[in-house]
Amino acid sequence: MTAPVRSTCPYCGVGCGVLLSPEAGGGITVAGDPDHPANRGRLCSKGAALGETVGLAGRLLQPQIGGQATDWDTAMELVAGKFRAAIAEHGPDSVAFYVSGQMLTEDYYVANKLMKGFIGSANIDTNSRLCMASTVAGHRRAFGTDTVPGTYADLDAADLIVLVGSNLAWCHPVLHQRVLAAKARRSTKIVVVDPRRTATCDGADLHLPLAIGSDVALFSHLLVALYEGGALDAAYLRHVDGFAQTLEAAMGGTLDPTGLDPAQVAQFCRMWLAHEKVVTIFSQGVNQSASGSDKVNAILNCHLASGRIGRPGMGPFSVTGQPNAMGGREVGGLANMLACHMSLEDPAHRAAVQTFWDAPAMPEAPGLKAVEMFEAVADGRIKALWVMHSNPAVTLPEADAVRAAIRASSFAVVSDITAETDTARLADVLLPASAWSEKSGTVTNSDRTISRQRAVRRAPGAARPDWWQMAELGRRLGWRMAFDYAHPVEIFREHAALSGIAGGFGLDFDISGLAGISTQDYDDFAPQRWPIAARQGGRFFADGRSFHADGKMRMIPVRHRPPAARLAPRFPFRLNTGRIRDQWHTMTRTALSPRLSAHLAEPFVELHPADAAALGIAPDTLVEVTSPTGRAILRALLTDRVQSGEVFAPMHWTGETAPSARIDALVAAVTDPISGQPESKASVCALRPFGAAFYGFAVASGPIAPDTEYWARARSQTGWRVELAGAAPLADWEGWARGLFGLPEAAAQSLIDADRGIARIAFQDDAHRLLAALFVGPEPLALQREHLATRPGTEPGQVLTGRAPAHVPDPGPTLCSCFNVGVNTILTAIEARGLMDVAAVGAALSAGTNCGSCRPEIAALLGAAMRREAAE
Ligand SMILES: Nc1nc2c(c(=O)[nH]1)N[C@H]1C(S)=C(S)[C@@H](COP(=O)(O)OP(=O)(O)OC[C@H]3O[C@@H](n4cnc5c(=O)[nH]c(N)nc54)[C@H](O)[C@@H]3O)O[C@H]1N2
Ligand SMILES: Nc1nc2c(c(=O)[nH]1)N[C@H]1C(S)=C(S)[C@@H](COP(=O)(O)OP(=O)(O)OC[C@H]3O[C@@H](n4cnc5c(=O)[nH]c(N)nc54)[C@H](O)[C@@H]3O)O[C@H]1N2
Ligand code: SF4
Ligand SMILES: [Mo]
């Protein structure tokens, strides 16, 4: 056997190292890399299931023009022609690239160079605008550079870890395990600041369920408490400008907007006063806000005033979402950045980059930011658009309008690995990209560690790497020399050399030590954190020196502003959105895994039971959610994890998986005035029961798409499982089911009670194997879904009962996706065997013993069981 190849997980910004072993049949075995500093062998549920997501299902294999397969030469000639014509006729600002924090640094570098240096426009923006832009703006205001001060090692050394707007347990699970390990080892205190009680709250010492959008009020209060409690660092403050004004602004605020219990806030402030080693981890609950930049600076203000930055175990720590969000910031992929932390608006920086690139034209002003870019697509200012490695028709706010704009645009190119996505369906030209495990390059994770992604197999069909696609456009537009790359190492060397120029300006991102890297050394490249010249343990700012011209740090006076969308009688609820544990964004890869699909198999809205009662919404029914911009139908998940007046819905479902659950259709396109980041977590909405005439559940071997108002489909081990519901009753259930499954002739067994609106129909083939089954009723269906999902391909037997035979226990929804252990199995074991803690559940069932991502949920089940017992 050959040795496994080291690579990096393509999902979150933790940047876990993986070991890849190609299998004979084309598959890949994936294991955690014990030598990678980010994870030391650990993986979360998504990383552990990577092997299930690299098959050819759904892959885009050929370039397409207008939906017809073609070859690269024809496709690229058309693309280059359209871009050339638009630039010639309407100028460079009539074209745009919308790219992604999931691209490799090499891909990103080429795209940025082509747009900013050669096309001569800054109209390149990225989905990082929806993700990290507020942090970038906050860092630049405070530090004069976009630099994350700390490292992962600080989590091991902290005494207090504050998580603000971060569901770390589900979104950065391996880091969350690291935080919990620190707690077990040295009693680190953990505080979660989140309007919802998330899985991250299990194991926390304090949860502050603040009102959505009120973080500035909370951290301003904390600043005052640090001042009054004598926790300011006078020596550090000598390096800081703006202290007096910032404190004054903070003193002018109140805690009222947070809605928090003052006693809890006092406890939070006491914890800060008691511990010097504080790390504040923050993420989308902070960034995705119309006051996102101010929220970031409110947090940075507290760390600067108390001097808790840049030393072991302390500092503000923005965790990046995407695998190369950090790399994208390094290459300058945002419309208002240049490259290597140089500034587009600085003439000296511009001139230096222009000389280095030998570039014909450089823009002097920032380009269109994501939301503006798609507005410009809508109103025709953008004549040619290239979307790479993102699915904006799903993930941008006012997504229905974005979808319509791309559809109506004069020319849209989409590069993807997936043939059918909401955005790919709109492309004039669709280009097949090489996927993770087929391509080579580098990514930078949340703590500035650069790691390699490595190819372990050939790309299928005509798929080509993203960097190649961008370079090919550059060559065809006439800049043959500048884009004459044959291998990603050539791009990496150029990027590293350019960073030396940034270093010459005194900037922090300088990896010029790697400018001469040999192909062999690039192949062997082991993870390295920049600054490559290790200073202060890889940390920044302990000395109080910033990258502003005067070298001073800045505190920024900030004042609470409520979310931009105002609650009104027609739209009385705040709509919060975000992620679930086992899906990645628009699910194009994670939904290929049956295991990952079994955790939460359907889109839902979390709402408080009191609100549900007032609206007449019963558990498990469907809810119609409307906002000023859109409408969704979602499953009602009644829970006091959310506060009354606020609801939460996941961002993941799409036209491909649940067309009525595209949540960004409801999200208002309002942005932070400084960062341009959309407020994805604080729109307004109304809820009412969806008047379902019937509810249905189906299992089938193929991906069916019912013509009902609501449906949601997920992969299972044997095919597909589909939830559905319709507003009007149907007359002929069996006829409808035959059409749905495409089984006009198959033998059927059925139980139909038309008067009561109940129908159960199973189809089988000649060998008596179940092909498909449909269950329909007037109310939400109580069925053993996990059992039914295993049935296609087996003897139909008693399938119409909708239940497993008595001797086959129903596992319930999958909680532990590594060992495929369901909720019911765990609950039964807790009760029958008197299990008391997560370790005991692990010993009994293995659940939670591999990746650990489900441990918070097992803890919650244990807690609930204990509360039940105590109440009995
Ligand atoms: N499983 C999974 N993991 C992922 C991803 C994924 O798709 N799936 N995506 C990756 C990416 S790109 C990103 S950016 C990260 C995101 O990681 P996170 O930011 O942790 O994830 P979210 O669920 O978007 O939002 C976090 C929390 O913000 C809270 N929140 C909402 N409004 C406010 C507010 O006003 N104040 C505060 N304090 N909190 C608020 C929400 O209730 C939510 O629990 O995850 C990465 N990891
Ligand atoms: N309401 C709401 N909206 C949000 C958010 C939220 O919290 N709430 N979060 C926002 C955030 S933080 C983010 S990061 C965005 C993410 O939003 P997107 O980036 O739009 O979502 P993805 O599903 O990651 O899209 C990646 C696309 O790239 C394709 N792909 C995979 N590998 C490759 C490859 O190697 N090359 C190419 N060319 N394509 C590939 C995938 O098939 C997929 O279509 O969503 C944002 N939108
Ligand atoms: S925590 Fe999970 S998703 Fe994130 S990099 Fe590690 S294995 Fe991948
Ligand atoms: Mo993100």
Q: What is the mean pLDDT of the chain?
A: 95
Residue 397: predicted pLDDT: 98
* 600: Cβ contacts below 8 Å, ≥ 6 apart: 580, 581, 582, 583, 650, 813
pLDDT at 850: 87
**Residue 868: Cβ-neighbour burial (10 angstroms; 0-12, 13-18, 19+):** exposed
Find the helix or strand (DSSP H, E) in which 839 lies. Answer: helix 838-845
Distance between Cα 820 and ligand 1 center (Å): 25
Are 236 and 265 contacting, i.e. CB atoms less than 8 angstroms apart?
no
Residue 363 has pLDDT above 70, yes or no: yes
Q: Which of 7, 19, 20, 39 to mutate to test the pocket of ligand 3 (most atoms within 8 A of CB)?
A: 39
Pocket test for ligand 2, best of 7, 54, 100 (most atoms within 8 A of CB): 100
Local confidence band at 871 (pLDDT 50, 70, 90 cut-offs): confident
Position 165: which residue type?
Answer: G
Higher-confidence position of 316 and 820? 316
Contacts for 757-760: CB closer than 8 Å, 24+ residues apart = 757/693, 757/694, 757/729, 759/733, 759/734, 760/800, 760/802
pLDDT at 872 (0 to 100):
67
Distance 601 CA to ligand 1 centre (A): 19
**Where does the pLDDT of residue 818 fall: very low under 50, low under 70, confident under 90, or very high at 90 and above?**
confident
Q: Which two tokens stand for residue 208?
A: 């502050």
Average confidence (pLDDT) over 456-484: 97
Which ligand 3 atom sits nearest the alpha carbon of residue 8? 5
In sequence order, the 6+-apart residues with CB closer than 8 A to the CB of 533 are 510, 513
Q: Among candidates 659, 655, 684, 651, which has minimal Cα distance to 130?
A: 651
Q: Is the CB of 203 under 6 A from ligand 2?
A: no
pLDDT of 810 reads 81
Question: What pLDDT does residue 805 have?
Answer: 84
Q: Express each pLDDT in 103-147 by its tens digit.
A: 999 999 999 999 999 999 999 999 999 999 999 999 999 999 999
Model pLDDT, residue 811: 84
**What whole-number distance in Å separates Cα of residue 83 and Cα of residue 94?**
9
* pTM confidence score: 0.96
Rounded to an integer, the average pLDDT of 778-797 is 93
pLDDT over 70 at 534, yes or no:
no
Residue 869 has pLDDT above 90, yes or no: no
Please tell me the predicted confidence (pLDDT) of residue 108: 97
The pLDDT of 606-634, averaged and rounded, is: 98
Residue 533 — very low, low, confident or very high, per pLDDT cuts 50/70/90? low
To the nearest whole percent, how much of the chain has pLDDT over 90? 90
Q: How far is the CA of 325 from the centre of ligand 4 (A)?
A: 8
**Residues within 5 A (CB) of ion ligand 4:** 131, 321
CB-based contact 468:518 (threshold 8 Å):
no
The whole-number average pLDDT for the span 570-586 is 98
Q: Is 585 in the pocket of ligand 1 (CB under 6 A)?
A: yes
Q: Verify whether ligand 1 is closer than 6 Å to residue 45 (CB atom).
A: no
What residue type is 197 in one-letter code? R
Is-contact 811 847, C-beta < 8 A? no
At residue 853 the predicted structure's pLDDT band, cuts being 50, 70 and 90, is confident
Share above pLDDT 70 across residues of the chain, in percent, rounded to a whole number = 99
- State pLDDT tens for residues 371-414: 999 999 999 999 999 999 999 999 999 999 999 999 999 999 99
> In this structure, which ligand is nearest to the CA of 127?
2
Tell me which ligand sits closest to the C-alpha of residue 563.
Answer: 1
Nearest ligand 3 atom to alpha carbon 32: 7
**What is the CB < 6 Å shell around ligand 3?**
9, 11-12, 14-16, 39, 43-44, 46-47, 172-174
* Distance from the alpha carbon of residue 580 to the mean position of ligand 3, in angstroms: 14
- pLDDT (0 to 100) of residue 268: 98
**Which residue's CA is the nearest one to ligand 1's atom 44?**
167
CA angle at 112 for the pair 323 and 12, rounded to the nearest 5°: 5
Using omega within 30 degrees of 0 as the cis cutoff, is the peptide bond preceding 780 cis? no
Q: What pLDDT sits at residue 806?
A: 80
- Pairing mode, if any, of strands 747-753 and 758-764? antiparallel
Summarize pLDDT for 626-667 with one digit per residue, the tens.
Answer: 999 999 999 999 999 999 999 999 999 999 999 999 999 999
- Note the pLDDT of residue 787: 92
What is the set of domains in the chain, with CATH numbers?
A: 5-53 (2.20.25.90), 64-131+326-484 (3.40.50.740), 133-318 (3.40.228.10), 573-689 (2.40.40.20), 694-801 (no CATH), 814-871 (1.10.10.1100)
**In the structure, what pLDDT confidence band is assigned to residue 536 with cuts at 50, 70 and 90?**
low
Indicate whether residue 681 lines ligand 1 (CB < 6 A).
yes
Pocket probe mutation, ligand 1, options 681, 683, 853, 854, max atoms within 8 Å of Cβ: 681
Please provide the distance, in angstroms rounded to a whole number, between the alpha carbons at the two ends of the chain: 57
Q: How many residues does the chain have?
A: 872
Q: Which position has the higher pLDDT, 805 or 522? A: 522
Q: Residue 444 Cα, ligand 3 centroid: separation in angstroms?
A: 13
How far is the centre of ligand 1, averaged over its atoms, from the C-alpha of 167 (Å)? 6
**CA-nearest residue, atom 2 of ligand 3:** 44
Residue 559 and residue 249 in contact, taking contact as beta carbons nearer than 8 Å: yes
CA of 732 to the centre of ligand 2 (A): 41
Cβ(421) – ligand 2 distance below 6 Å: yes
Dist CA 60 CA 57 (whole Å): 9
Which ligand 2 atom minimizes the distance to the CA of 667? 1
Q: Closest residue (by CA) to atom 35 of ligand 2?
A: 435
pLDDT of residue 1: 61
Give the ligand 1 atom nearest the CA of 44. 1
Q: Measured from the CA of 396, which atom of ligand 2 is nearest?
A: 47
* Separation CA 155–CA 315 (nearest Å): 10
198-257 residue pLDDT tens: 999 999 999 999 999 999 999 999 999 999 999 999 999 999 999 999 999 999 999 999
Measured from the Cα of 395, ligand 2's closest atom is 47
Q: Report the pLDDT value the prediction gives residue 868, as an integer from 0 to 100.
A: 79
Q: Would the pLDDT of 535 be above 80? A: no
The verdict on the CB of residue 191 being under 6 Å from ligand 1 is no
Distance 652 CA to ligand 2 centre (A): 9
pLDDT one-digit tens code per residue, 277-306: 999 999 999 999 999 999 999 999 999 999
Probe residue for ligand 1, chosen from 11, 12, 294, 443 as the CB with the greatest number of ligand atoms within 8 Å: 12
Tell which atom from ligand 1 comes closest to the C-alpha of 584: 7
652-655 long-range contacts, Cβ below 8 Å, gap at least 24? 652/579, 652/580, 652/583, 652/584, 652/585, 652/586, 652/587, 652/603, 653/587, 653/603, 653/712, 654/391, 654/394, 654/421, 654/422, 654/586, 654/587, 655/393, 655/394, 655/422, 655/425
Q: Locate tokens 């449909």: which residue? A: 774
- Residue 648 CA to residue 614 CA, distance in Å, equals 18
Find residue 748's DSSP bridge partners. 763
Q: Which residue has the tokens 């299998």?
A: 23
Q: How far is the CA of 561 from the centre of ligand 1 (A)?
A: 21
Residue 652 CA, closest ligand 1 atom number? 7
| C-beta of residue 452 within 8 angstroms of C-beta of residue 8 | yes
